[in-house]
Amino acid sequence: MEDQTTALAPILYLKDLAAAIDFYKNVFDAIEKWRVSNPDGSVHVAEMIIGAALLRMHEEVSNDNNFSPETVGGTTVVMGLLVPDPDAVAAKATAAGATVLSPVKDYEYGYRQGTIKDPFGHHWMIEKKTAEPPLGSE
């Protein structure tokens, strides 16, 4: 068994994991590491890599109150995805069916970013660090 360092591995709950896997592969160049399928062929759980980030996906589990944004009608988490070209990734996402929540633009705290909602209801802040943010206010 290999040594493991501390890392954050978010889990997105979804109704249709197969469609989400295809979307994340197409838009974010995600690589599928593994999946476990249900007897009916639908995907139960999967793990992907986006750049150096680990992303897990799981079908809804109502008895644990783990629901998709579709079911709850919103989300409480925004996934921040740092990329070399946020404009290109946001454009690719919208071409694949995502909705722009806030267009990509430069912010005074040193980031170029915009937010999209993927077709499954998850919000993604597509961003790039452009400068060091100010340490404090005068």
pLDDT digits (tens, 9 = 90+) for 60-112: 988 889 999 999 999 989 999 999 999 999 999 999 999 999 999 999 999 99
Residue 3 lies in a domain: no
Residue 97 lies in a domain: yes
Domain range for residue 68?
A: 11-129
Tell me the percentage of the chain whose pLDDT exceeds 70: 96
Number of domains, the chain: 1
This prediction's pTM: 0.89
CA distances from 50 to 17, 53, 89 (A): 16, 5, 13
Please work out, in degrees rounded to the nearest 5, the angle formed at the alpha carbon of residue 24 by the alpha carbons of 16 and 27.
135
| CATH number, position 36 | 3.10.180.10
Residue 5 lies in a domain: no
Residue 47 lies in a domain: yes
Whether residue 122 contacts residue 79, with contact meaning beta carbons closer than 8 Å, is answered with yes
CA distances from 4 to 87, 114, 118 (A): 34, 32, 31
Residue 135 lies in a domain: no
The pair of three-digit structure tokens given for residue 97, joined into one six-digit string: 């069916």
Q: How far is CA 17 from the centre of its chain?
A: 13
Residue 4 lies in a domain: no
Burial profile 114-130: b = 16 or more Cβ within 10 angstroms, e = fewer: bbbbbbbbbbbbbbbee
Residue 6 lies in a domain: no
Residue 70 lies in a domain: yes
